[in-house]
Structures are given as structure tokens and as C-alpha cells.
Structure 1
């Protein structure tokens, strides 16, 4: 079982001091000069999806405002290319690299190399086994635990349901899947009536998630719940449930950045329960963290500056279109 190192407190004294320095009218607006001309490289798993586009939009806005050189190196879902892009970024010696880790292992050594050479690394939403200067993103342990507890409530003892659950990760070694699965299985261990009948990765592809779920439904027509680890590919799983005419019998759980596409699929009975960490808000948090790092904020030894994203749980019962956000056209 893979365990990630614990990061430090949500905000260290250095981060709070740096935030105060940004206050309008503060003489420390010389901080602007400390950021001007600094270079930031963002290496995402892929652009063209609302998560990364939303994050990058917010970081780019702040970079332009404060004279920061900001570049994006798109790996386009190619893991070999991502490793190469990160290595090339290190060679350019920027002031900060923002890493969107596809797995807990892939960039671990390179993150350490960057930090050892004096290049700060901010990990965004998906963390590595290697700590770095900062992390901004979802609290995956909390999400996995809360989803599992709700599954127990809906499918466990006294529910009259089978207790059978299918889990559809994006990738089994992705940080979100590692942490959510560990948290969920810890809950399920206390409830033996819950049976995980499938735990197959979709490689983030909706069609593959649909095929996996369709097969599971054929093998287990009394399935009670599907837990998808990212809303976009879970749409495929939800469509398989709907195609089988089981949307009233099988609950579809998902997590994600809460964009308009997700709200549309809640309205269409494709997703039932959704843990949203609001990617637009994460982008603002990442942009703020970028600025304070460039002004010299440092974590305590062995820890990370950390901001965990606020969560909202969207269900059919509490749903409102305002719970999701839109990318500007």
C-alpha cells in the first residue's frame, strides 16, 4: 500500500507574512518588484480540459499583472513526454515549476532534483511521493472517506441493497486514486456487508469507464453504487448505468472541479453525488501561492506550504446551477 508523506500546516508563518505584504497600501509593495521578471513553468498532464485550463487562466492573469514570465508545457496525456518536459524545465532554471502529477512516482525524483538545485516546485491537486515547496489542491483523504461513508449509508446494513460497489479510478497509481482508495477501503473494512466487486482504471477515458461499468453491471445486476474518481470519465460510467435502465437502482458518485459539464450531467441523472473542489477557486489559490513563493515564502524543513481546497457536495436534492462554474468564452 502506497502512503504519501504528510505535508505541513495549511499556512505557515512565512506564507501569512507574504500574504500581508500583498495588501493594498502596504509599503511592502516593493514585493511587486521581487516578482517582476521571475519565471514560472506549468507542466500539466494535459491542457484542453477544464481543470488545467481553469488553473492556468488564473495563474496567467496574475503573471501578467505582476510582470511574471509564465509558460505552459503541455504533456497531452503522454507520460514519457511529461517526464521529458519536466526535465527540460529544470534545465531552464525557472524560479518555480508547477507540477500536475499524473502518478505518485513519475516526477518524484525530478521534483527532488529541482528543489535540490534551488528551483521551487508547487504541486497542483495531484501530489507526488516527494514533498516540495508547496501543494495546492483537494483533500483526497477526506473525499475518499466521505464518499465511502455515504456509500455505507446508502448500500450497507439496513438499506435493503446488495452492498456491491464498483470503483472506477483514473489510474490506480494517481495520487487521488491512491489516497481515495486507501481512505475508502479503511471505511469499508469496518462494514463487511460492503463488497467492492471491481476496481478497474479507465485511464481517464469516459468510453473506457462506460465499458468497464457496463461489464460490471452484466456480472452484478444488483450493483448498488459506482465510485468514479473524476467526474469527466465518470460520465461514461453513469451513462452505462442509464443505458442499462438502472439509474434508479445504482448510485453514481464522482469528484472533480465542478465545471458546467458536471452540473449538466447531474440534471440529466447521469451523476447522483458529486464532491466538488472547484477548479476555478483552486486556480486562484494556485496563483496566490505562486506569488508568495516568488516573494520568498519558505516551508519548515520537511513540510510543504499547503492550501486544501474547500469542498461542496452536490446532490440531486441540493442541486443548483450556481454550484458549478463556467470557463469564459
Structure 2
């Protein structure tokens, strides 16, 4: 028996009578307004294969009894106000688990350094859980993970070499808002058309390339240095989102960036780039937002910008730039044109 009451604006305490439904296989109560603690009695429903309680107003801790749900393949208790520690007991019999969503709670990891989970997850969403300060060693055992979110997880460590062995399966990687330091493997190893977010850390070294095409590359607010690689476009020609803002990049904007004709968002602001804006950017006809604001830009805004018909946000704050009247009149109505 499956019970799905998602997105129904239901209110009140979590219904304890659900624990009497011994034949319940799937339970979806996500995005309602239930409050109070998660009842430990749910751990008695031994036939459950899927539990989705995300997006409510529940509080308290996650009951240890969930570790007894041996048939469980999906557990989502994200977007809550849950607190407390998550220990090995919570997963003791979850050898069939494939999806684990614990994000946007205030959990603290309390597992041993040599813990080997009984599961092999494919989708792991534990953003905002306190997993650090060291990089979670148990991730090394997860050979099947394809989507990984460990953002804002209080990790202040370098990324271990073994991590790149499991990253070759990833279509989504989010390790943003930690205190990760050191250099990345270059080129990055992820699956084709992956989304990679490494922003707001202390990562350094050259801007990484990729062994396969990436769709989203977010590297802002780190310490990457040196020039933007000329081969960036060759490495990732179908990039849709590129942000390198808030780093220590130097040199010119490479002409080859105009070969990224699929770009929708381009943000190179807050670096020490210099020289002129290459006219080749006018080839990026899908650009919707672009920020090239850094003080050392010079020359004239390329006339090719007049071809950027999808542009809705343009930030070029630099008094040294010359603006042809045809360009200025085309973009003067943009909400974010920058100061001149």
C-alpha cells in the first residue's frame, strides 16, 4: 500500500496512526505543514521502501529506529528543522538505500573514521549537515554515487586523492561553502554534461579543465590564479553556466571564450584580468547575464555585443571602457548595466 499526500497544505502534528499501517510500502507527506517530532514508531513499518517527509515543519531528532527499515531504498527528510547527531545506528540495516536526503537540517555526523556504510547510494544530498572538519572518509566506499551534495558541511580539509576515483561517476557535484583548500585534480573527472559547484572555498592553483564537457562550472570565491586557460572552450564547448568571479585570475580574457556558444551566464568579475573585451563574445547569442566588472579592462565595448539579443543583465563597471553609442542605446534599459 502506498500513501501519497504531497503538496496538500496539511497541518497539525505528524499523524502517529500511520505506524499502524503495517502493509505500508511507500509514504510521501512532503511539502505540507506538519510539525512536531518524527515518531520513532515509523521504524516498525518493516515493508517501507520509500519515505519522503521533506519540506514540512518537523523538529527534534531523526529516530534511531529508521535504521531498522531494511527494505528502504529512499529516505528524504530534507528542508526541516531537525537537529542532533546522525550515527551508524541510523543506517544499521539500510543495505538497499539508494537515495538519502538529509539536507538543510542541523545534523552532526557521529560516525567512526573507519565506518563502512551498509549501502551504496546513487543520490546523496547532505548539504548543511555538519560532516567536518575532515573530509568524510566513508564517501570512499560509495562507488555508485552519481549526485553528491556536501555543500556547507563544515569541512575544512583538502580534497583527498581517492575522491577523484568516485567523481568519474558524478553528474552533479556540489561542495560549495566549505573551507576546502589545496589544488584540484586537473583535469576534473566527471561524467559528460555534469554540474560542478566548487564555489566559496579556499581552493587554489590554475583554473581546472575537464576530461568531458561540463554544463555548469561554478568556481567563484576561491583563490584560483593565473590566466584563464585558452583551452577552456575546447575542453567544455557546451558550457551553459561559467562563473570564475572573486578569484585571483590575471591576463586577458581569451578570444576562445567566444566558442562557448551555449553560454547563458558568464561571470568573470572580481579578478585582476586586463586588456580589452574580445569581440568573439558576441558569438554567445544565448547569453542572458554577463558580468565583466574588473578595474583593468580597457578599450572599446565590441560592436558584436549588439548581437546579444537575449541579454538581460550586463555589468561592466569600468570608467576606462569606451562605449559606442549603438551599444549604449541598445542596453541602456537593462536593469543591471553597471556604473559608467
Normalized against structure 1, the TM-score is what? 0.24
Structure with larger Rg:
2
Higher helix share: 1
Higher strand share: 2
- Greater relative contact order: 1 or 2 (C-alpha under 8 angstroms, separation 6 or more)? 1
Normalized against structure 2, the TM-score is what? 0.23
